[in-house]
Amino acid sequence: MSLPSFARCARPLLLGLAGLLFSFAVLHKTPTEQVQSYYALHLRQLHTQLARLQDLASQADTTAIQAQFAACRTEYKHLEFAVEYYYPHAAQRLNGANLPETEAGEPGQVILPTGFQVLEEYVYAPGSPTSATRDQLRQETDNLLAEVRHLEQQVPLLAFSEAEVFDALRLNLYRLAAKGLSGFDSPVAHASLPEAAVTLQATREVLAMFAVPKQVLLALGRGEAAVAAPYQTFDSFDRARFLGRHFNPTLAALRQAQQQLGVPFVAARRAVRPEAASFFVADAFDPGFFAPADVAAPTPAVLALGEALFREPLLSGRAGRSCISCHLPGRAYTDGLRVNRSLQAGAELARNTPTLLNAALQPEQFADGRVHFLEDQVHAVVSNKAEMGGQLGNASALLRRKRPYDRLFAQAFAAETQPITERNIRRAVAAYVRSLVRLNSRFDQYLRGDSTVLSGQEIQGFNLFMGKAQCGTCHYLPLFNGSVPPLYDKAESEVLGTPATADTLHPTLDTDQGKFGLYGIAHQRHAFKTPTVRNAALTAPYMHNGVYQTLEQVLDFYNRGGGTGLGLAVPTQTLASDRLHLTSAEQQAVIAFIRALNDAPETAY
């Protein structure tokens, strides 16, 4: 046999031997080493797919470009669990919202958006790609490639642990439920369902590297089939059914498997406890995560003192106003007014009184987010001349002379020789407010297994809320406020274009500058923190200025496209200005769902 003939015959044999050696090597890798190989493989494939997209951007038609964009997104969804966990800043640059951002530590520095969501706007722009659009496609793809190259350089330095892999997968499932299913990161392509299927597939593939029980993989497979079922659309997908029948059982099976395998839960202090079976269980959220280092322990004595101080007019000195003057328990800790009266003669307060229910479960306080901790909010409200007009230093002296505060403070802060202090007043009131966490609505009970507590209209309303109505892209599941999942350590603010009056024929923009007043950042003009819609049926009027008296008015405002949809000039509006095209029946269904977020009587105020 000649040498060339021998080479031709030997090549398949050598390739087969190489494949066997590779398989043998993989089989002898630890599960975490297999995860690292999986991550590196999909990172390389993402690089390849982005390079192809960059080539197509110069000449291909819209259909080809969109198909290649989808291929890139598919690869990213295989990686998302790890990139978000180990490289959150890179994840933000790869897949953050198409909106300017600021960092908490540098609020004056504006970070322009970049990544897939920016690219998606160009890929799905109406009509054939123009020369300018193609340039934008290439530039944004360049940005993505640069980020991916950086991640590739980090691969040799990245060491997965079993606990971190399970933790990252769990957080990514939370991300899927709270952001993926709402369309948050596919706002133009509306590819949330096929991308959710990829996320579940990737989760299944990674967990298969561990000796997890078969039922975990089967549960993930059933969930994958549910989101990939034929003939369903983004609008028609039954999210309530998916969460109840697939998401929660999968999370419970994952937790059980982790315990059976002896894989520890990470020791991280987070908003959602790492060991929670799901973020829908009653004790999933830890209010202490949002508290400062010197938080007062919520002992019965501290809470009793905090409640007494909450009702105490002495905090406002001679003004005679207490916290409960504006936060009435019978009104879900609001006051039922458009805005309350100011202590300054002839004036009103600037903004509507927010509920204190679940106020502890957010990383910022006040409508403009100007403080982070409840303790600081107590100080700010008490010392504000328009709100309470007091001074906590003076209040301490007054409280020392009034029974039973000597006993209440001594019981609450027994280790201190002089417990009646300004600091302890703040800590006690904040502890009481922190105790007002209410996560036991009929909606919560439904997702905890009681399928009888919601009506068909309420279930439809939830599906609309998380889908066609686009509410869930700002009011994140399951807190339904602007705390960003899955870590809930950042509060989002939105520019809605809220009008000054409810007149839709001759609307005028409300003059309150919102968060812009803090740092003078242009894109934050008229921006306000996204509040919770839990218990919203009990907290009318609505919006930061109390302009709307009913939920029907609120839904109409959103259905029209916010201030821009009303015809107002709101150049910084972050709310989509397109009409939602919700029918009257659909709007009523959303309202019915919001009413299902009222807390059950046995746990409500």
Beta bridge partners of 509: 499
Asked whether residue 4 is assigned to any structural domain, the reply reads no
Mean pLDDT computed over 312-338 = 93
- What pLDDT shows up at residue 603? 41
Enter the tokens of residue 571. 């150049």
Nearest CA to 586 among 496, 462, 475?
Answer: 462
Q: How many whole angstroms separate alpha carbon 432 and alpha carbon 452? A: 33
Q: Among 3-17, 204-218, 360-374, 463-477, which is the least confidently predicted range?
A: 3-17
Whole-number Å distance between alpha carbons of 184 and 494? 14
| Domain extent at residue 65 | 27-160
- Check whether residue 401 and residue 519 sit in a common domain: no
CA dihedral 111, 113, 114, 119 (to 10 degrees): -170
pLDDT at 326: 95
pLDDT band at 8 (very low <50, low <70, confident <90, very high): very low
% pLDDT > 70, the chain: 94
Burial of 414 (C-beta count, 10 Å sphere; 0-12/13-18/19+): exposed
Nearest Cα to 51, choosing from 138, 134, 127?
Answer: 138
Torsion sign over Cα 180, 368, 305, 387: negative
349 domain-assigned: yes
Residue 14 resides in a domain: no
| Amino acid sitting at position 133 | T
- Give dist(CA 158, CA 136) in Å, integer: 32
Domain total of the chain: 4
Assess if residue 600 is contained within a domain: no
Question: What is the DSSP secondary structure assignment for residue 414, as one 8-state letter?
Answer: T
DSSP conformation letters of 321-361: --GGGTSBGGGTTB-SSSSPBPSSTT-B-SSPPPP-TTTTS
Is residue 469 domain-shared with residue 568, that is, in the same domain? yes
Which residues in 305-326 are b (16+ Cβ under 10 Å) and which e?
bbbbbbebbbbbbebebbbebb
Q: How far apart are CA 167 and CA 155, in angstroms?
A: 19
Selection from 418, 248, 395 nearest residue 322 by Cα = 395
Whether 461 and 390 share a structural domain? no
Same domain, 371 and 514: no
Q: Please indicate, yes or no, whether residues 217 and 293 belong to a single structural domain of this protein.
A: no
Cα angle: 493, vertex 605, 285; to 5 degrees: 50
Q: Which of 500, 491, 514, 535 shows the shortest CA–CA distance to 334? A: 535
Average pLDDT over residues 507-527: 95
Q: Which residues of 451-480 are buried (b: 16+ CB within 10 A; e: fewer)?
A: eebbeeebbbbbbbbbbbbbbbbbbbbbbb
Residues 478 and 551 in one domain: yes
CATH of the domain at 305: 1.10.760.10
- Here the tokens at position 60 are 């291909």
Above 50 in pLDDT, residue 6?
no
Residue finishing a domain among 160, 195, 217: 160
For residue 494, give the H/E element and its range.
Answer: strand 493-495
| 211-257 pLDDT, tens digit each | 999 999 999 999 999 999 999 999 999 999 999 999 999 999 999 99
Mean pLDDT, the chain, rounded, equals 93
Q: Is residue 20 part of a domain?
A: no
pLDDT at 441 over 50: yes
Statement to judge: residues 412 and 310 lie in one domain: yes
What is the model's pTM? Answer: 0.92
Which CATH number is 94's domain given?
A: 1.20.1420.20
pLDDT tens for 374-429 read 999 999 999 999 999 999 989 999 999 998 999 999 999 999 999 999 999 999 99
Last residue of a domain, one of 265, 300, 331: 265
My answer on whether 496 and 545 are in the same domain is yes
What is the C-alpha separation between 225 and 245, in angstroms, rounded?
12
Whether residue 348 is predicted with pLDDT greater than 50 in this model: the reply is: yes
The residues that bridge with 528 in the sheet, in sequence order, are: 494
Residue 601: inside a domain, yes or no? no
SS3 content of the chain, % helix, strand, coil (to 5): 50, 5, 40
Nearest to 350 by CA among 521, 551, 544: 544
Q: Are residues 449 and 574 in the same domain?
A: yes
Q: Would you call 554 exposed, middle or buried from its count of C-beta atoms within 10 A (0-12, 13-18, 19+)?
A: buried
Question: The dihedral of CA 563, 340, 360, 541: what is its sign?
Answer: negative
- Please indicate, yes or no, if residue 271 is contained in any of the structural domains: no
Residue 355 shares a structural domain with residue 371: yes
**pLDDT at residue 12 tops 80:** no
Does 186 score more than 80 pLDDT? yes
Domain end position, chosen among 383, 400, 434:
434
Residue 330: partners with Cβ closer than 8 Å, 6 or more residues away: 605
Q: In terms of domains, do 175 and 152 share one? A: no
Per-residue DSSP letters for 192-240?
Answer: HHHHHHHHHHHHHHHHTTTT--HHHHHHHHHHHHHHT-TT--TTT--HH
Q: Residue 105: pLDDT band by 50, 70, 90 thresholds?
A: low
Q: Is residue 139 part of a domain?
A: yes
Cβ-based neighbours of 602, under 8 Å, separated by 6 or more? 440
Q: What is the CA radius of gyration of the chain?
A: 27
Residues 127 and 194 placed together within one structural domain of the fold: no
Q: What is the phi/psi pair of residue 172, to 5°? A: -70, -30
